[in-house]
């Protein structure tokens, strides 16, 4: 079946521009996660959507970052007024949750964002 997809795969933008990154989770997965990964570094948690609950936005680094998830499926991560330090790979993942903690995350291929 189809995995998690992300678009675009690469995005080059000028400093100060807004960008939108898209994530299509696996159908039926109620949880969706966004992470940022700088070159050679670990995963930096950004935001977590779980079903119809209010998202956990505790990882968003500034108010320039926002995300939404429409219809419990597709999610868009928006970065306003991009800065060079926003350059990174943005990874999306989805997971079954319901009431279980045993379900692993499935990751998308990521969007490589370069801010010039």
Partner 1 sequence: AQKITQTQPGMFVQEKEAVTLDCTYDTSDPSYGLFWYKQPSSGEMIFLIYQGSYDQQNATEGRYSLNFQKARKSANLVISASQLGDSAMYFCAMRDNNYGQNFVFGPGTRLSVLP
Residue in 105, 110, 112, 84 with CA at minimum distance from that of residue 33: 105
Does 7 sit near partner 1 (CB under 8 A)? Answer: no
Binding segment for partner 1 (CB under 8 A), chosen from 15-23, 64-72, 80-88, 105-113, is: 105-113
Strands, E assignment, 62-101: 65-69, 75-79, 88-95
Position among 60, 88, 93, 113 found at the interface with partner 1 (CB under 8 A): 93
Residues 28 to 57 in contact with partner 1, rule: CB under 8 A = 31, 33, 42-43, 45, 48, 50, 53, 56
Does 97 sit near partner 1 (CB under 8 A)? Answer: yes
Does 76 sit near partner 1 (CB under 8 A)? Answer: no
Residues forming the site for partner 1 (CB under 8 A): 31, 33, 42-43, 45, 48, 50, 53, 56, 89, 91, 93, 95, 97, 101-102, 104-107, 109-110
């Amino acid at each position: 079946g189809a995995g998690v997809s992300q678009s675009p795969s690469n995005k080059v933008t000028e400093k100060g521009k807004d960008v939108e990154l898209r994530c299509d989770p696996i159908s039926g997965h109620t949880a969706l996660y966004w992470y940022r990964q700088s070159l050679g570094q670990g995963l930096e948690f950004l935001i977590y959507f779980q079903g119809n609950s209010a998202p956990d936005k505790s990882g968003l680094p500034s108010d320039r970052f926002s995300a939404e998830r429409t219809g419990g499926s597709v999610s868009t991560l928006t970065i306003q007024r991009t800065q060079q330090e926003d350059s990174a790979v943005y990874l999306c993942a989805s997971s079954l949750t319901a009431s279980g903690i045993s379900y692993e995350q499935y990751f998308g291929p990521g969007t490589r964002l370069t801010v010039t």
